[in-house]
Amino acid sequence: MLVQRLAAGGRRHFASTTAAAATAASTAPAAAQLSPEIRALLESFRTNPSDATATLLQQPTTDLPVPVALEHVVAQLFRGKHTKEALDVLQLSLDRSIGIDYSIAIRKSGALDRQDSNAVLSWLHANAASIETDQHVSMIRVCLRLKHFSSAVRLFELIRTRQFNGRVLSKDVMYLLAAVESVPNGRLRHELQTKLLRFHSHPSNISAPELVTDMCQRQPDAASQCVQWAIGVIY
């Protein structure tokens, strides 16, 4: 009976989601022009990132660049694979309460999509209590978009007891992704996590009965939760 409800509900869901998807589509705004001061700062970090970082760390708080400038610095350092220097600047901003948006700095750099992601995640874990929940959520969404499910789950564990907008990040989805992390076969684990995320975003494109069957086979302990969640998504 549950499987029949899932199949029927998926067909009805298609029409209601098509218009919503079209309405949500928008064009990303053009990047704002950087000020001459920020361009000069970035050039100094491009020329000699180690010396520029050391100089920055020695400056009094009153002389430090504005938060948006430091966000660009961190992003540039990560893009240049200067991971240590980038994390030093992040730590500086945290220790001195500069107020940069860590999610912006890390997202712009693509640091969660490269080999230095483990270093970034370790830093985030060490400083989780000092970083705003919304910024954690933003970084988790980046990981999900990149299908870095293990990283997303690791970040979610830092805020799973906090309150945040469920329309921005679904705790139900994250609980299921976390449950699937214990599937030993990496390929099957990734396939099931991808299917869960796609069903959450586009229920009409994924067979709910097939999704539930896969969950029953690969992670039976989470099968009941998956059924209830899938019904909620469709209905």
Query: Taking the domains of the chain in order of start, what are their residue ranges?
Result: 170-235
Please tell me the predicted confidence (pLDDT) of residue 44: 96
Please tell me the predicted confidence (pLDDT) of residue 108: 72
Of 20-29, 105-114, 122-131, the one with minimum mean pLDDT is 20-29
For the stretch 49-58, pLDDT in tens is: 999 999 999 9
Average pLDDT over residues 104-116: 72
Contact 142, 105 (CB under 8 A): no
Distance, in Å, from the CA atom of 28 to the CA atom of 128, rounded to the nearest integer, reads: 30
Please tell me the predicted confidence (pLDDT) of residue 153: 95
Please tell me the predicted confidence (pLDDT) of residue 178: 97
Please tell me the predicted confidence (pLDDT) of residue 1: 54
Please tell me the predicted confidence (pLDDT) of residue 24: 41
Q: What are the structure tokens assigned to 66, written together?
A: 């504005």
- pTM, two decimal places: 0.77
Q: Is 26 left (phi over 0), alpha (psi -120 to 50) or beta?
A: beta
For the stretch 72-89, pLDDT in tens is: 999 999 989 899 999 999
Please tell me the predicted confidence (pLDDT) of residue 107: 76
Contact 85, 117 (CB under 8 A): no
Please tell me the predicted confidence (pLDDT) of residue 231: 93
Exposed, middle or buried, 162 (CB in 10 Å: 0-12/13-18/19+)?
Answer: exposed
For the stretch 143-163, pLDDT in tens is: 898 898 998 999 999 999 999
Contact 145, 118 (CB under 8 A): no
Averaged confidence pLDDT in the chain: 86
For the stretch 9-25, pLDDT in tens is: 555 544 444 444 444 44
Contact 199, 177 (CB under 8 A): no
Residue from 101, 95, 139, 98 nearest 117 by CA: 139
Please tell me the predicted confidence (pLDDT) of residue 160: 94
Residue with tokens 């309460």: 97
Please tell me the predicted confidence (pLDDT) of residue 183: 96
Residue from 57, 68, 134, 55 nearest 99 by CA: 68
Distance, in Å, from the CA atom of 157 to the CA atom of 175, rounded to the nearest integer, reads: 10
Look up residue 52 and give its amino acid: A
